[in-house]
Amino acid sequence: MNQIDKKFEKLGTDHAPGQEVRQSGITSEAYLRGETLPGTPVDFSHGDVNDDAFSPTPGALEEFVEGVHRGGPQAYTEYRGGAELRERVADKLAEFTGRPVSGAKELIITPGTQGALFLALGATATAGDKVAIVRPDYFANRKLVEFLGAEVVPVRMDHLAHTESAGLDREGLEAAFKSGVKTFLFSNPNNPAGVIYSPAEIARIAELANRYGVTVIVDQLYSRMLFRGQVYTHLRASSIDADQVVTIMGPSKTESLSGYRLGVAIGAAHLIDRMEKLQTIVSLRAPGYSQAVLRTWFAEDPKWLQDRIAKHEAIRDDLLKVLHTVAGLTARTPQAGSYLFPRLPALGVSLHSFVLALRVQAGVTVTPGTEFSPDATDCIRLNFSQNHEAAVQAIERTVQLIERYRS
């Protein structure tokens, strides 16, 4: 196998969220237990963007249409995004994160937050560099590092053993930084676990980043969806050297604007410059017309936003109630975002077989934990941004199947 074959061999996407339809069918159904369970199919691999689940921000489509009518200047923005819009978004994000942002120099609009992640990592790490990533964390982080030819240095996060913090292995983080890591990439709130890093954890990350000269990329995609009583600490407003941090945000989750593919990164000007250079060759720019939709961002009716968060919290609580009836299942209550990441009791089949049975027999699509950490062989991730009733029924079916497949 030559070099490029090996590279792509590692980039498997068979179990990536949203790609389930590309899996080949069950070659042997011998392992399936019992009959199919009727009910509305629910795809927990991503949030549902529909009127009976969660719709895009009111006014988003209208802004898009106005953008189309503006024509050329909206279609062909600077590669980093339209100048006026960047100023507007910079002001909003400065207020949100608690530290100034220059729209001219410190912000780039990207095609989705995935685009922003790629650009940020590509701007800070190259072949042979060491990059620290958390386990578990967003499924593509590992692949990004591998594609660039860099080396993954994993840092553990044991969210199930903690309640007052995310559970980051602080000694492990320092050991990683000491070993020569150049970039540390993590999501906060954590995807898949829905936990928030405590103020002490963020302070520690900042302190270590400064001490060891590590650039930190923090994916804050879910940082607006905070449930009652939660405190969120923005890394960029901590003691971290402003030259060493890139913050990634986007309107695709809380705001359900994913279909427009928009992401935003803010950070040190020299890193944003590099990200733009890279964007030039990877995708040129975020969709011109879609950029107009960012005019609705952080300008939503506060009641609409509160209501949206409250609805997610209610779904979370109802799903947890059902999950907690399963003996041997462990689930920490998510503090933010729309993910549940329960650890299942011991099963008599492999995790991937169970996930496939769940889809085939119960119409329930979930993402296996192994997408987020090679150790998470007994976890599944569910995005509960769904129709409330359908989600509860789907979890009831899931529980039935867990009982069927127990070891």
What residues from 81 to 120 belong to the interface with its own copies (CB under 8 A)? Answer: 83, 111-112, 114-115, 118
CA gap 294, 298 in Å, rounded = 9
Q: Are 290 and 307 in contact (CB under 8 A)?
A: no
Helix (H) or strand (E) holding 383: strand 380-383
Asked whether position 49 contacts its own copies by CB under 8 A, the answer is yes
Q: Minimal distance in Å, beta carbon 254 to its own copies? A: 15
Treating both helix axes as pointing N-terminal to C-terminal, what angle do 170-178 and 199-212 enclose, rounded to 10 degrees?
A: 10
* Beta bridge partners of residue 109, listed in sequence order: 264
| Binds its own copies (CB under 8 A): choice among 44, 79, 177, 354 | 79
CA gap 11, 142 in Å, rounded = 9
Window of 19-27, 186-194, 196-204, 356-364 that interacts with its own copies by CB under 8 A: 19-27
* CB nearer its own copies, residue 44 or residue 232: 44
Window of 68-76, 306-314, 337-345, 393-401 that interacts with its own copies by CB under 8 A: 68-76
* CB nearer its own copies, residue 48 or residue 378: 48
| The pair of three-digit structure tokens given for residue 322, joined into one six-digit string | 């059902």
| Binds its own copies (CB under 8 A): choice among 261, 295, 308, 404 | 261
Window of 42-50, 187-195, 298-306, 363-371 that interacts with its own copies by CB under 8 A: 42-50
Asked whether position 184 contacts its own copies by CB under 8 A, the answer is no
Asked whether position 12 contacts its own copies by CB under 8 A, the answer is yes
Q: Minimal distance in Å, beta carbon 402 to its own copies? A: 26
Site track 126-165 with its own copies (rule: CB under 8 A), x = hit: xxxx----------x--xx--x-x----------------
Asked whether position 362 contacts its own copies by CB under 8 A, the answer is no
CA gap 371, 273 in Å, rounded = 31
Is the Cα dihedral 285, 109, 148, 211 positive or negative? positive
Q: Are 363 and 255 in contact (CB under 8 A)?
A: no
Beta strands in 95-229 (DSSP E): 107-110, 130-135, 151-156, 183-187, 215-219
* CB nearer its own copies, residue 86 or residue 135: 86
| Binds its own copies (CB under 8 A): choice among 51, 228, 231, 327 | 51
CA gap 83, 76 in Å, rounded = 11
| Binds its own copies (CB under 8 A): choice among 40, 210, 258, 400 | 258
| Binds its own copies (CB under 8 A): choice among 21, 30, 231, 346 | 21
Asked whether position 25 contacts its own copies by CB under 8 A, the answer is no
The residues near 264 (Cβ < 8 Å, ≥ 6 apart) are 89, 93, 107, 108, 109, 110, 113, 116, 248, 249, 250, 294
Binding residue count for its own copies, defined by CB under 8 A = 72
Considering only residues 275-334, where is the footprint of its own copies by CB under 8 A?
276-278, 280-290
CA gap 172, 168 in Å, rounded = 8
Asked whether position 72 contacts its own copies by CB under 8 A, the answer is yes
Alpha carbons within 13 angstroms on the beta-carbon side of residue 239 total 13
* CB nearer its own copies, residue 116 or residue 356: 116
Residue 128 Rama label (left phi>0; alpha psi -120 to 50; beta): left
Q: Are 256 and 47 in contact (CB under 8 A)?
A: yes
| Helix, strand or coil, per DSSP, at residue 201 | helix
| Binds its own copies (CB under 8 A): choice among 23, 50, 306, 350 | 50
Window of 159-167, 231-239, 270-278, 352-360 that interacts with its own copies by CB under 8 A: 270-278
